[in-house]
Amino acid sequence: MNKCSAAILTGALGFALAFGLIPRAESKNKAGAKITGQTMSATGCLTKEAKEKNEYLITGQDGKTWGIKSNTVKLSDHLNHKVTVTGKITKGEHGNEAGDMNVSDLKMVSETCK
């Protein structure tokens, strides 16, 4: 390949990358940052997070597990119940969790997780 062809090829690749014609890989942090601040709901069994005080876990019907906390909803009253929680995402994906949620509303689905 001569120098002119190499320069043209390099320029074309640079142009394609600069204008989004070639997909770029996104890091998990960027993907997690996109959901932070969004309001969402999850339905599942409410369990206690053993590692963090005042944090609970809920695994939604989609299989994603969320770390949840609340200053307005008494989550401990619904431990081991199937509930639907709604709140704002405060942190994106980390560890085994899809993220953390600050719960503003809770609706009882069942007093058992079955």
Q: What is the per-residue pLDDT across 61-110, written as a single tens digit (0 to 9) for each?
A: 889 999 999 999 999 999 999 999 999 999 988 888 899 999 999 999 99
Rounded Cα–Cα distance for residues 6 and 3 (Å)? 5
How far the first Cα of the chain sits from its last, in Å, is 67
Which tokens is 97 given?
A: 């969790």
Q: What is the per-residue pLDDT across 7-51, written as a single tens digit (0 to 9) for each?
A: 565 555 455 444 544 343 333 444 445 888 999 999 999 999 888
Q: What is the pTM of this model?
A: 0.68
Which tokens is 109 given?
A: 């689905």
Strand segments (E) across the chain: 39-48, 56-60, 65-69, 82-91, 99-110
Contact 1, 48 (CB under 8 A): no
The DSSP call for residue 71 is S
**Residue 86, Cα to own-chain centre: how many angstroms?**
14
